[in-house]
Amino acid sequence: DAGVTQSPTHLIKTRGQQVTLRCSPKSGHDTVSWYQQALGQGPQFIFQYYEEEERQRGNFPDRFSGHQFPNYSSELNVNALLLGDSALYLCASSPTGGYDEKLFFGSGTQLSVL
Amino acid sequence: DAKTTQPPSMDCAEGRAANLPCNHSTISGNEYVYWYRQIHSQGPQYIIHGLKNNETNEMASLIITEDRKSSTLILPHATLRDTAVYYCIVRLMEYGNKLVFGAGTILRVKS
Protein backbone atom coordinates (compact mmCIF):
# COMPACT_ATOMS: atom_id res chain seq x y z
CA ASP A 1 0.00 0.00 0.00
CA ALA A 2 1.63 3.22 -1.16
CA GLY A 3 1.54 6.06 1.25
CA VAL A 4 1.21 9.72 0.30
CA THR A 5 3.22 10.38 -2.84
CA GLN A 6 4.38 13.79 -4.04
CA SER A 7 5.99 14.97 -7.25
CA PRO A 8 8.43 16.28 -8.14
CA THR A 9 10.82 15.77 -5.23
CA HIS A 10 12.88 18.84 -6.10
CA LEU A 11 12.18 21.90 -8.21
CA ILE A 12 14.06 25.07 -9.08
CA LYS A 13 12.21 28.15 -10.31
CA THR A 14 12.97 31.83 -10.74
CA ARG A 15 11.15 34.79 -9.24
CA GLY A 16 7.86 35.60 -10.95
CA GLN A 17 7.33 32.15 -12.35
CA GLN A 18 4.46 29.82 -11.55
CA VAL A 19 4.75 26.30 -10.12
CA THR A 20 2.45 23.27 -9.76
CA LEU A 21 3.08 20.57 -7.18
CA ARG A 22 1.23 17.26 -7.16
CA CYS A 23 0.04 14.88 -4.47
CA SER A 24 -1.60 11.46 -4.44
CA PRO A 25 -3.18 10.60 -1.09
CA LYS A 26 -2.83 7.32 0.72
CA SER A 27 -5.22 4.65 -0.55
CA GLY A 28 -8.64 5.06 1.06
CA HIS A 29 -8.09 8.71 1.98
CA ASP A 30 -10.36 11.44 0.64
CA THR A 31 -8.97 14.57 2.29
CA VAL A 32 -5.77 16.32 1.32
CA SER A 33 -3.97 19.19 3.02
CA TRP A 34 -0.91 21.18 2.07
CA TYR A 35 1.76 22.57 4.36
CA GLN A 36 4.77 24.84 3.81
CA GLN A 37 7.92 24.25 5.85
CA ALA A 38 10.65 26.86 5.76
CA LEU A 39 14.15 25.83 6.76
CA GLY A 40 14.46 25.30 10.51
CA GLN A 41 10.76 25.83 11.21
CA GLY A 42 7.73 23.64 11.74
CA PRO A 43 5.24 23.09 8.90
CA GLN A 44 2.58 25.76 8.35
CA PHE A 45 -0.92 24.86 7.18
CA ILE A 46 -1.85 26.25 3.75
CA PHE A 47 -5.25 24.69 3.02
CA GLN A 48 -7.34 21.54 3.06
CA TYR A 49 -9.40 19.97 0.28
CA TYR A 50 -12.33 17.63 0.63
CA GLU A 51 -14.94 16.70 -1.98
CA GLU A 52 -13.02 18.83 -4.50
CA GLU A 53 -13.55 22.00 -2.48
CA GLU A 54 -11.26 24.09 -0.30
CA ARG A 55 -12.58 23.60 3.22
CA GLN A 56 -10.05 25.43 5.37
CA ARG A 57 -7.32 27.91 4.66
CA GLY A 58 -4.35 29.13 6.62
CA ASN A 59 -2.78 32.58 6.50
CA PHE A 60 -1.45 32.43 2.94
CA PRO A 61 -2.05 34.90 0.09
CA ASP A 62 -4.20 34.21 -2.93
CA ARG A 63 -1.08 33.41 -4.94
CA PHE A 64 -1.42 30.00 -3.33
CA SER A 65 -4.27 28.00 -4.84
CA GLY A 66 -5.18 24.38 -5.12
CA HIS A 67 -7.34 21.79 -6.72
CA GLN A 68 -8.62 18.36 -5.84
CA PHE A 69 -9.60 15.86 -8.53
CA PRO A 70 -12.35 13.22 -8.44
CA ASN A 71 -9.74 10.54 -7.66
CA TYR A 72 -8.82 12.62 -4.53
CA SER A 73 -5.39 13.61 -5.83
CA SER A 74 -4.48 17.25 -5.47
CA GLU A 75 -2.37 20.05 -6.89
CA LEU A 76 -0.86 23.09 -5.23
CA ASN A 77 -0.27 26.09 -7.48
CA VAL A 78 1.84 29.08 -6.55
CA ASN A 79 1.85 32.13 -8.84
CA ALA A 80 4.31 35.02 -9.03
CA LEU A 81 6.95 33.19 -7.04
CA LEU A 82 8.94 35.12 -4.44
CA LEU A 83 12.30 34.22 -2.94
CA GLY A 84 10.48 33.64 0.35
CA ASP A 85 8.43 30.85 -1.22
CA SER A 86 11.52 28.64 -1.11
CA ALA A 87 10.55 25.82 1.23
CA LEU A 88 9.60 22.18 1.60
CA TYR A 89 5.98 21.70 0.57
CA LEU A 90 4.27 18.81 2.31
CA CYS A 91 1.07 17.07 1.39
CA ALA A 92 -0.93 15.21 4.02
CA SER A 93 -3.96 12.98 3.70
CA SER A 94 -6.59 11.43 5.92
CA PRO A 95 -9.92 9.65 5.55
CA THR A 96 -13.40 10.73 6.61
CA GLY A 97 -13.24 14.36 5.62
CA GLY A 98 -10.29 15.17 7.78
CA TYR A 99 -11.65 14.21 11.16
CA ASP A 100 -9.63 11.06 11.56
CA GLU A 101 -7.11 10.66 14.33
CA LYS A 102 -4.03 10.36 12.14
CA LEU A 103 -2.66 12.52 9.41
CA PHE A 104 -0.25 10.89 6.95
CA PHE A 105 2.41 13.07 5.31
CA GLY A 106 4.36 12.65 2.12
CA SER A 107 8.10 13.31 1.90
CA GLY A 108 7.53 16.67 0.29
CA THR A 109 8.66 18.73 -2.68
CA GLN A 110 11.70 20.94 -2.09
CA LEU A 111 11.12 24.19 -3.98
CA SER A 112 13.98 26.60 -4.54
CA VAL A 113 13.20 30.05 -5.94
CA LEU A 114 16.20 31.90 -7.40
CA ASP B 1 0.65 30.59 16.88
CA ALA B 2 1.44 27.24 18.39
CA LYS B 3 -0.19 26.61 21.76
CA THR B 4 2.68 24.45 23.00
CA THR B 5 6.15 25.07 24.42
CA GLN B 6 8.96 22.57 24.03
CA PRO B 7 12.71 22.65 24.79
CA PRO B 8 14.69 23.33 21.60
CA SER B 9 16.92 20.28 21.95
CA MET B 10 17.66 17.21 24.08
CA ASP B 11 20.23 14.44 24.09
CA CYS B 12 19.63 10.81 25.02
CA ALA B 13 21.91 7.78 25.25
CA GLU B 14 21.07 4.86 23.00
CA GLY B 15 19.04 2.21 24.82
CA ARG B 16 17.85 4.60 27.50
CA ALA B 17 14.39 6.13 27.80
CA ALA B 18 13.88 9.50 26.14
CA ASN B 19 11.44 11.78 27.97
CA LEU B 20 10.29 14.77 25.93
CA PRO B 21 8.29 17.43 27.82
CA CYS B 22 5.63 19.75 26.45
CA ASN B 23 3.73 22.60 28.06
CA HIS B 24 0.22 23.44 26.85
CA SER B 25 -1.18 25.54 29.68
CA THR B 26 -3.98 27.08 27.59
CA ILE B 27 -5.36 23.80 26.29
CA SER B 28 -9.15 23.61 26.23
CA GLY B 29 -11.23 20.69 27.39
CA ASN B 30 -11.90 19.24 23.95
CA GLU B 31 -8.41 19.62 22.51
CA TYR B 32 -6.25 16.57 22.06
CA VAL B 33 -2.49 16.38 22.56
CA TYR B 34 -0.70 14.98 19.52
CA TRP B 35 2.91 14.06 18.94
CA TYR B 36 4.57 13.85 15.53
CA ARG B 37 8.20 13.46 14.63
CA GLN B 38 10.15 14.43 11.53
CA ILE B 39 13.29 12.64 10.51
CA HIS B 40 15.58 14.62 8.22
CA SER B 41 14.32 14.88 4.63
CA GLN B 42 11.01 13.16 5.42
CA GLY B 43 7.49 14.31 6.21
CA PRO B 44 6.19 14.32 9.78
CA GLN B 45 5.18 10.92 11.17
CA TYR B 46 2.32 10.41 13.62
CA ILE B 47 3.44 8.95 16.96
CA ILE B 48 0.59 9.06 19.47
CA HIS B 49 -2.24 11.22 20.78
CA GLY B 50 -4.44 11.50 23.88
CA LEU B 51 -7.14 13.57 25.53
CA LYS B 52 -7.00 12.94 29.29
CA ASN B 53 -5.70 9.46 29.95
CA ASN B 54 -2.20 8.17 29.49
CA GLU B 55 -1.73 6.32 26.23
CA THR B 56 0.70 3.69 24.97
CA ASN B 57 1.29 2.19 21.56
CA GLU B 58 4.08 0.30 19.84
CA MET B 59 6.13 3.46 19.38
CA ALA B 60 5.78 5.43 22.60
CA SER B 61 3.88 6.35 25.74
CA LEU B 62 2.12 9.63 26.40
CA ILE B 63 1.73 10.88 29.95
CA ILE B 64 -0.72 13.79 30.42
CA THR B 65 -0.88 15.59 33.74
CA GLU B 66 -4.17 15.62 35.59
CA ASP B 67 -4.72 19.33 34.92
CA ARG B 68 -3.78 18.69 31.26
CA LYS B 69 -1.42 21.65 31.21
CA SER B 70 1.59 19.55 30.28
CA SER B 71 2.53 16.17 28.89
CA THR B 72 5.55 13.94 28.34
CA LEU B 73 6.33 11.72 25.40
CA ILE B 74 8.35 8.66 26.40
CA LEU B 75 10.39 6.59 23.97
CA PRO B 76 11.20 3.60 26.21
CA HIS B 77 14.40 2.40 24.52
CA ALA B 78 15.75 5.07 22.22
CA THR B 79 17.75 4.02 19.16
CA LEU B 80 19.86 6.06 16.76
CA ARG B 81 16.94 5.98 14.32
CA ASP B 82 14.85 7.95 16.82
CA THR B 83 17.01 11.03 16.19
CA ALA B 84 14.49 13.53 14.83
CA VAL B 85 12.51 16.71 15.51
CA TYR B 86 9.58 15.95 17.81
CA TYR B 87 6.49 18.16 17.63
CA CYS B 88 3.88 18.45 20.37
CA ILE B 89 0.58 19.77 19.01
CA VAL B 90 -2.83 20.50 20.50
CA ARG B 91 -5.57 19.69 18.07
CA LEU B 92 -9.27 20.37 17.98
CA MET B 93 -10.83 17.57 15.93
CA GLU B 94 -13.25 20.03 14.33
CA TYR B 95 -10.27 21.76 12.73
CA GLY B 96 -9.81 18.77 10.46
CA ASN B 97 -6.33 18.50 9.04
CA LYS B 98 -5.18 21.89 10.32
CA LEU B 99 -2.32 21.21 12.69
CA VAL B 100 -0.41 24.11 14.23
CA PHE B 101 3.25 23.12 14.53
CA GLY B 102 5.72 24.90 16.75
CA ALA B 103 9.50 24.66 16.42
CA GLY B 104 9.62 21.25 18.14
CA THR B 105 12.41 19.54 20.07
CA ILE B 106 15.48 18.18 18.31
CA LEU B 107 16.22 14.83 19.96
CA ARG B 108 19.72 13.51 19.41
CA VAL B 109 20.25 9.87 20.37
CA LYS B 110 23.93 9.13 20.90
CA SER B 111 25.77 5.81 21.06
Per-residue pLDDT tens for A37-59? 999 999 999 999 999 999 999 99
State the pLDDT at residue B30. Answer: 86
Q: In what order do the strands lie in the sheet with B31-38?
A: B9-13, B105-110, B84-92, B31-38, B45-50
Taking an 8 Å cut-off on Cβ atoms, the answer to whether B94 and A45 are in contact is no
State the pLDDT at residue B97. Answer: 81
User: Is residue A100 very low, low, confident or very high in pLDDT (cuts 50, 70, 90)?
Assistant: low
Query: What residues of B are in contact with residue A106 (Cβ under 8 Å)?
Result: 43
State the pLDDT at residue B45. Answer: 96
User: Which residue is closest to B1 within chain A, CA to CA?
Assistant: A44
**How close does chain A come to B64, measured CA to CA in Å?**
18
DSSP calls for A42-83: --EEEEEEETTEEEEE-S--TTEEEEE-TTS-EEEEE-S--G
By C-alpha distance, which of B14, B21, B45 is closest to B109?
Answer: B14
pLDDT of B1 over the 70 cut: no
Q: Which of A94, A96, A105 to mutate to test the interface with B (most CBs of B within 10 A)?
A: A105
Count A/B contacts: CB-CB distance under 8 Å: 59
State the pLDDT at residue A98. Answer: 60
Average pLDDT, chain A: 94
User: Is residue B98 very low, low, confident or very high in pLDDT (cuts 50, 70, 90)?
Assistant: confident
By mean pLDDT, which of A33-42, A58-67, B24-33, B102-111 is the weakest? B24-33
What type of residue is B102?
A: G
pLDDT of A88 over the 80 cut: yes
Q: Which of B4, B6, B97, B106 to mutate to test the interface with A (most CBs of A within 10 A)?
A: B97
B49-89 confidence digits (pLDDT tens): 999 989 999 999 999 999 999 999 999 999 999 999 999 99
User: Is residue B111 very low, low, confident or very high in pLDDT (cuts 50, 70, 90)?
Assistant: very high
